[in-house]
Amino acid sequence: MINEKKIKVLIVLADFYKNISNNLLCGAQEVFKKEKINYNIVRVPGALEIAQTIKFYFDSKLENYDGFLALGCVIKGDTYHFEIVSNESARSLSYLSIHFSIPIANGILTTFDKKQALERSDINKLNKGKESALACLSMIKIRQKLN
């Protein structure tokens, strides 16, 4: 079990592709329940709003979180919008993580089509929500060892 002290995680979930995001959430919740992790969920419209929301909660004095889990999905369409959303959401999360030493796991799927997104969010098979939750806990554990 990872949980040496009671860990609290905020899951920030982009609802643009709600069914896919909910599958990712189920995978993450499975991991957190197994590891007895306290977590809260906040839903945002899309992937670009995730980093901003994490920063809001990081700066807030109302609640303290040991780490953050970004979950959502970006599916390629016919325009350049896919590249902007994919690149900027990943860049923003990396910036927050490095600049403020925040344990953040990026579980935002970036896929070429809905079929790929459904495969990577399948609750019974490959679920990137599970993988991202485990990555989040690993980063929290590293941070705790150094503090």
Beta bridge partners of 69: 11, 105
**Which helix (H) or strand (E) segment is 146 a member of?**
helix 128-146
The CA distance from 30 to 19, in Å, is 17
Q: Place 3 in a pLDDT band, splitting at 50, 70 and 90.
A: very low
Catalytic annotation, residues:
81
Q: For residue 51, is it within any domain?
A: yes
Query: Residue 3 falls within a domain, yes or no?
Result: no
Q: Whole-structure pTM over 0.85, yes or no?
A: yes
98 within domain boundaries: yes
Q: Determine the Cα–Cα distance for residues 107 and 132; give it in Å rounded to an integer.
A: 5
CB atoms within 10 A of CB 115: 10
Q: Is residue 123 part of a domain?
A: yes
Whole-angstrom distance, CA of residue 125 vs CA of residue 123: 6
Local confidence band at 1 (pLDDT 50, 70, 90 cut-offs): very low
Domain count of the fold of the chain? 1
Percent of the chain with pLDDT over 90: 89
pLDDT in tens, 103-122: 999 999 999 999 999 999 99
Q: Does residue 2 register a pLDDT over 60?
A: no
Q: Which domain holds residue 59?
A: 8-141
- Quick check: is 91 in a domain? yes
Q: pLDDT at position 7, please? A: 96
Q: What is the CATH number of the domain that holds 52?
A: 3.40.50.960
Asked, for residue 52, whether it belongs to a domain, the answer is yes
| Residue 50 and residue 93 in contact, taking contact as beta carbons nearer than 8 Å | yes
Q: Does residue 146 lie within any of the structural domains?
A: no
Residue 68: inside a domain:
yes
For the segment 25-63, what is each residue's pLDDT rounded down to a tens digit?
A: 999 999 999 999 999 999 999 999 999 999 999 999 888
